[in-house]
């Protein structure tokens, strides 16, 4: 029986995937795993028995990933589960940026007229103020072609938009999801100089924090619209305010900043990107499924602090070893098993930065006794699990 502790409101459709015969929800403080959304873990005490944390969402800024990794706690998140919700909000924002639809709606609702005739006459006079443009035929640059960026690019192409993409870290698998009609920029400078709208979909890391600064804005042509639905910290706010007096016509973001509020050409949403019922369900289901797979088989998929590692589970005894990424670790593990008369049937090892993960299927009868303590004697082994 695995014990699961939940924080925040997790969609019931996800929680229902925990079989009551195998999982107990919020029945014990000594939980094997946590399922969270926005709960901040940075100052939390991490108990030694905690195996994993699953976040029902893509971002992991509320989790101390390195500290958790060093304690042998695998963190899961749900990239792509809310991609459609974010994509639709970005697409709607682009349409609103080229046509002053909201301004027109506001004008209608702020005025009263004594008759329908007067209303229609006033509309004919005033609607000239709300003439906009069409998105079709515009050129959009997308930085970051992951689940959201690639989906956005595909929809824009269907609308007759010329799309240029830039993603220096695009994987082979990710490339399959990008339309062949998306033009590829080999450097961000190739993309910035000739676009009407820029949409940001890159992750926030130590290297990307504040990366969108004057060096980007100065390369844009006048009246460029910038949309940031990735993370607010990607943009240098001071340089952005200067750029709004220069090349940037409008800045649209899902991450309001105090110093940017009230600017007439900044449109800020209250972090609505994933706020759809479908997205909340998708995130909860994916978080629970990946967590269950890890707890039951040791397989890791969509982890934010350990390498994705999978070995088909066929019912053999299995060892899962979380350890530091140091030389000869696999050799030491194999030697310890051999010394105890344990034969390895299958094994996979993956690393990610300073940590690594080794899954081992044992070719021995179930009744053969194995003490995992012998593996804990190896320096830099953080956690061993036996299935």
- pLDDT for 366 beyond 80: no
Q: What is the mean pLDDT of residues 268-292?
A: 95
Query: pLDDT > 90: what percent of the chain?
Result: 84
Q: What is the pLDDT of residue 365?
A: 56
Q: How far apart are CA 1 and CA 24, in angstroms?
A: 7
Q: What is the pLDDT of residue 193?
A: 92
For 43-94, what is each residue's pLDDT tens digit? 999 999 999 999 999 889 899 999 999 999 999 999 889 999 999 999 999 9
Confidence tier at 31 by pLDDT (50, 70, 90): very high
382, two tokens: 């953080």
164 touches 139 (CB < 8 A):
yes
- pLDDT for 367 beyond 60: no
Confidence tier at 368 by pLDDT (50, 70, 90): low
For 121-178, what is each residue's pLDDT tens digit? 999 999 899 999 999 999 999 999 999 999 999 999 999 999 999 998 887 777 888 9
Q: Which of 337, 330, 316 is nearest to 380 (CA)?
A: 330
317-324 and 355-362: which strand pairing? antiparallel
Residue with the bigger pLDDT between 149 and 371: it is 149
Q: State in Å, rounded, how far the first CA of the chain is from the last one.
A: 13
Q: What is the pLDDT of residue 374?
A: 87
Running DSSP on this structure, what letter comes out for residue 346? E
For 185-239, what is each residue's pLDDT tens digit? 999 999 999 999 999 999 888 899 999 999 999 999 999 999 999 999 999 999 9
Q: What is the pTM of this model?
A: 0.80
Q: Quote the distance between the C-alpha of residue 207 and its chain's center.
A: 17
């Amino acid at each position: 029986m695995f014990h699961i502790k939940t924080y925040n409101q997790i969609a019931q459709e996800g929680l229902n995937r925990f079989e009551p015969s195998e999982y107990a929800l919020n029945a014990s403080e000594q939980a094997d795993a946590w399922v969270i959304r926005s709960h901040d873990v940075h100052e939390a005490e991490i108990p030694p028995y905690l195996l994993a944390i699953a976040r029902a969402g893509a971002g992991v800024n509320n989790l101390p990933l390195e500290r958790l990794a060093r304690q042998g706690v695998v963190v899961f998140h749900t990239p792509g589960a809310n991609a459609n919700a974010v994509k639709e909000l970005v697409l709607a924002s682009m349409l609103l940026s080229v046509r002053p639809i909201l301004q027109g709606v506001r004008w209608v609702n702020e005025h009263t007229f004594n008759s329908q005739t007067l209303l229609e006459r006033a509309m004919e006079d005033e609607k000239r103020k709300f003439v906009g443009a069409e998105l079709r035929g515009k050129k959009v640059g997308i930085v970051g072609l992951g689940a959201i960026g690639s989906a956005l690019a595909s929809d824009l192409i269907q609308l007759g938009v010329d799309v240029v993409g830039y993603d220096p870290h695009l994987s082979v698998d990710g490339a399959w999801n990008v339309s062949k009609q998306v033009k590829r920029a080999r450097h961000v400078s190739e993309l910035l100089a000739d676009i009407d709208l820029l949409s940001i979909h890159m992750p926030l890391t130590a290297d990307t924090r504040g990366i969108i600064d004057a060096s980007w804005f100065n390369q844009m042509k006048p009246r460029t619209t910038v949309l940031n639905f990735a993370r607010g910290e990607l943009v240098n706010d001071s340089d952005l305010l200067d750029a709004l007096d220069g090349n940037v016509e409008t800045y649209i973001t899902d991450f309001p900043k105090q110093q940017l509020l009230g600017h007439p050409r900044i449109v800020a949403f209250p972090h609505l990107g994933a706020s759809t019922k479908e997205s909340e369900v998708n995130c909860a289901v994916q978080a629970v499924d990946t967590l269950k797979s890890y707890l039951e088989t040791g397989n890791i998929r969509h982890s934010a602090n350990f390498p994705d590692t999978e070995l088909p589970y066929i019912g053999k005894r299995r060892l899962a070893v979380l350890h530091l990424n140091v030389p000869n670790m696999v050799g030491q593990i194999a030697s310890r098993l051999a010394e105890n008369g344990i034969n390895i049937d299958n094994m996979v090892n993956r690393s990610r930065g300073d940590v690594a993960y080794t899954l081992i299927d044992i070719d021995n009868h179930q009744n053969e006794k194995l003490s995992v303590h012998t593996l804990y004697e190896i320096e830099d082994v953080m956690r061993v699990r036996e299935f």
